[in-house]
Amino acid sequence: MQKLSRPDLWSLEQYAEQRPEFRAKVIAHKGPRRVQVGAHATLSFEDALTMKYQVQEMLRAERIFEAADIEEELAAYNPLIPDGTNLKATFLIEYPDVEERQRALAQLGGVEHTAWIKVGDEDKVFAIANEDMERSTDGKAAAVHFLRFELPQSSHSAAKAGAPIQVGIDHERLAGTVTLSEDARRSLAADLD
């Protein structure tokens, strides 16, 4: 999957015009790519479209228009676009109550390393987590992690052939498994081109 560059982006003025329609398109696209694993964990699978939206929103919110600053945003978000052999996701640990979230995160250190994906009869592929910086310290987890699932060719082929895809977390305090819907499966398989 191709990384984003400045010509792929709209100017702030152009984005203001395109934003309502583009936002609706991205929200619809993200729907099947947002996978709830249990009551408190969500994996939001990223691709070039979701990252274009993220970059455009950051440029808009921060009123960024200088070339060097735009390049910094691209450098920050391009690593979250799959490379064709992997799937990438933002892993969110979600508790609506702040105090409950703090208590839970204090017991979830390393949870990001227990997230996995399984294609058909292939073995689980565990996430490579937070390549930009460590987010779990002293036994505590952060609420947001960035994951890369590097799939072997056999899993890649099985996904492209229509095999079911499961996503799970093996941490004892956040354990869960879900089989993706057909829409989600197709959307993620398209990332493997």
- Total number of domains constituting the chain: 1
pLDDT, averaged per 10 consecutive residues of the chain (193 residues), comes to 91 96 97 95 97 96 94 94 95 94 92 96 95 73 94 95 97 95 96 89
How many Å apart are CA 30 and CA 35, to the nearest integer? 10
How high is the pLDDT of residue 2?
A: 85
58 in any annotated domain: yes
1 in any annotated domain: no
How high is the pLDDT of residue 169?
A: 97
179 in any annotated domain: yes
How high is the pLDDT of residue 139?
A: 75
Q: Can you give the residue range of the structural domain that contains 66?
A: 6-190
18 in any annotated domain: yes
- Name the residue among 110, 109, 113, 125 with its Cα closest to residue 167: 125
Report pTM. Answer: 0.92
